[in-house]
Amino acid sequence: MSAPATCPRQPPRNTTGTHDPVLEIDLSAVAANTRHFAHTAGGEVLAVVKADGFGHGLDGMARTALANGATWLGATSIAEAVEARAADADAPVLSWLNPVDADVTTACGHRIDLAVPSGRHLAAVVEACTRSGYRARVHLQLDTGMARDGAAPDEWPELTAAARRAENAGHITVVGVMGHLPRAGEPGLPPNTTGPQELLHGVEMARQAGLRPSVRHLAATAATLTDPDTHLDMVRIGAGLVGIDPSGSTRLGSALRLTAPVVQVRRVPAGTGIGYGHTHVTDRATTLALLPIGYADGLPRAASNRAQVMVASRWCPVLGMISMDQLVVDLGDQPVDPDTEAVVFGPGDDGEPTVDDWAHWAGTIPHEIVTGIGHRVRRSIR
């Protein structure tokens, strides 16, 4: 009689197969894109590394951008700005979206510049600097037509006057004035043509209040690519570094390639309902492949029954609803072996679907696709 099978006391820790879904990140594309912007921009380039470097990994994005012509780093939160500081000890780093009670002392301790969008934010910065003895480097933030972040024009005179008092008292130095454009992908529209004037007017008022901001910045990717009048002293580039051009004017390189293995292949007859809700029913006998990747991994459910992936060099439609962890594609009459690698999207060089295709299928923008890839997808950075 053989001994009963028993579970080992210590289960093996790493059960990751070599064929799990992988997000390959090619930083040479980021390098080339950065060089394009450094060459195009009239002034300096701030690399926007928010949202974990637009889903590409903050550290690699930051280092690559600085090595290829960017001179500043920026992110929304202080936490991500601190990560950016860890990537480079010297480059100026800006954080521009924080609650009033944000940890200003930590930001100053890491030499992070802070955008200040209101009198209450300014008072909090002054208070923190009074306590800590730091002198904060501040960019006054003016709302140039978005009704979003930044001071409304009617709050600007008071904000600049208060900033001047704080500067005189030694708590802050106003180094910059910043704005943001709402419709930069559509050059020629009024918010874009008036944006630079509004920002320069705001700078003029700041100067009249006695401030000497030296870094005026307004443009992000789209405006930088389409309108040199918006460049001023610095441009803030995020999407463009990862190959997204909202203006549709420039061919940039995409850095991402997302693959998943086929885990199962099956032949089904006509009339087979697929997945939750049977939102697709086959109209012929066909062969289905199952991929272990779903909306928890960032593939939008809205792309169900619309998206395609590439399997064995052929585009294969996604059939039925994309599930949390898996999706089904149609191989037609050409089966493949399990473990065949499917390309969900890539730069498009080998004819595979792209991030833009997925955005189109999901009714969204490529930014949402690249920033949405889930944590459990393994990253492979080169």
Residue 308 as a binder of ligand PLP (CB under 6 A): the answer is no
325 is annotated as an active-site residue = no
User: Could you say which of 117, 176, 238, 261 contacts ligand PLP (CB under 6 A)?
Assistant: 238
* SS3 at position 27: helix
For ligand PLP, the binding residues in 26-85 under the rule CB under 6 A are: 48, 50
Q: Read off φ and ψ for residue 230, nearest 5 degrees.
A: -90, -5
Residue 234 as a binder of ligand PLP (CB under 6 A): the answer is no
For residue 118, give the nearest of 170, 154, 78, 86 by alpha carbon: 154
Minimal distance, residue 181 CB to ligand PLP, in Å: 9
For ligand PLP, the binding residues in 333-352 under the rule CB under 6 A are: none
Residue 236 as a binder of ligand PLP (CB under 6 A): the answer is yes
Q: Which stretch binds ligand PLP (CB under 6 A): 18-26, 118-126, 232-240, 279-287?
A: 232-240
DSSP-assigned letter for residue 142: B
Instruction: Tell me how far apart the alpha carbons of residues 330 and 328 are, in angstroms, rounded to a whole number.
Output: 7
Minimal distance, residue 143 CB to ligand PLP, in Å: 11
How, if at all, do strands 93-95 and 44-48 pair? unpaired
Nearer to ligand PLP, 23 or 94 (CB): 94
Annotated catalytic residue: which of 133, 168, 169, 276?
276
For residue 246, give the nearest of 216, 279, 219 by alpha carbon: 219
Instruction: Spell out the residues 6+ positions from residue 257 whose beta carbon is closer than 8 angstroms to its own.
Output: 23, 24, 26, 343, 345, 346, 347, 352
Minimal distance, residue 85 CB to ligand PLP, in Å: 18
Instruction: Spell out the residues 6+ positions from residue 316 whose beta carbon is closer than 8 angstroms to its own.
Output: 289, 308, 309, 310, 329, 330, 331, 332, 342
Contact (CB, 8 A) for 169 and 178: no
Strand partners, 318: 329
The pattern of x and - marking residues 81 through 100 that bind ligand PLP according to CB under 6 A reads ---------------x----
Residue 239 as a binder of ligand PLP (CB under 6 A): the answer is yes
134 is annotated as an active-site residue = no
Minimal distance, residue 50 CB to ligand PLP, in Å: 6
Burial-class residue 183 by CB neighbours within 10 Å (0-12, 13-18, 19+).
middle
The pattern of x and - marking residues 131 through 170 that bind ligand PLP according to CB under 6 A reads ----------------------------------------
Q: Which stretch binds ligand PLP (CB under 6 A): 30-38, 55-63, 122-130, 216-224?
A: 216-224
Strand partners, 112: 93
Q: Which stretch binds ligand PLP (CB under 6 A): 13-21, 233-241, 312-320, 340-348?
A: 233-241
Instruction: Tell me how far apart the alpha carbons of residues 298 and 54 are, in angstroms, rounded to a whole number.
Output: 13
Q: What is the chain's Cα-based Rg?
A: 25
User: Could you say which of 60, 240, 294, 346 contacts ligand PLP (CB under 6 A)?
Assistant: 240
Annotated catalytic residue: which of 37, 41, 50, 244?
50
Instruction: Spell out the residues 6+ positions from residue 96 whose beta carbon is closer than 8 angstroms to its own.
Output: 74, 75, 76, 114, 115, 139, 141, 149, 178
Q: Which stretch binds ligand PLP (CB under 6 A): 28-36, 204-212, 219-227, 277-285?
A: 219-227
Instruction: Tell me how far apart the alpha carbons of residues 148 and 113 are, in angstroms, rounded to a whole number.
Output: 20
User: Could you say which of 36, 137, 171, 180 contacts ligand PLP (CB under 6 A)?
Assistant: 180
Residue 199 as a binder of ligand PLP (CB under 6 A): the answer is no
User: Could you say which of 68, 98, 160, 221 contacts ligand PLP (CB under 6 A)?
Assistant: 221
Residues identified as active-site: 50, 276
Residues of this chain that interact with ligand PLP (CB under 6 A) are 48, 50, 96, 180, 220-222, 236-240
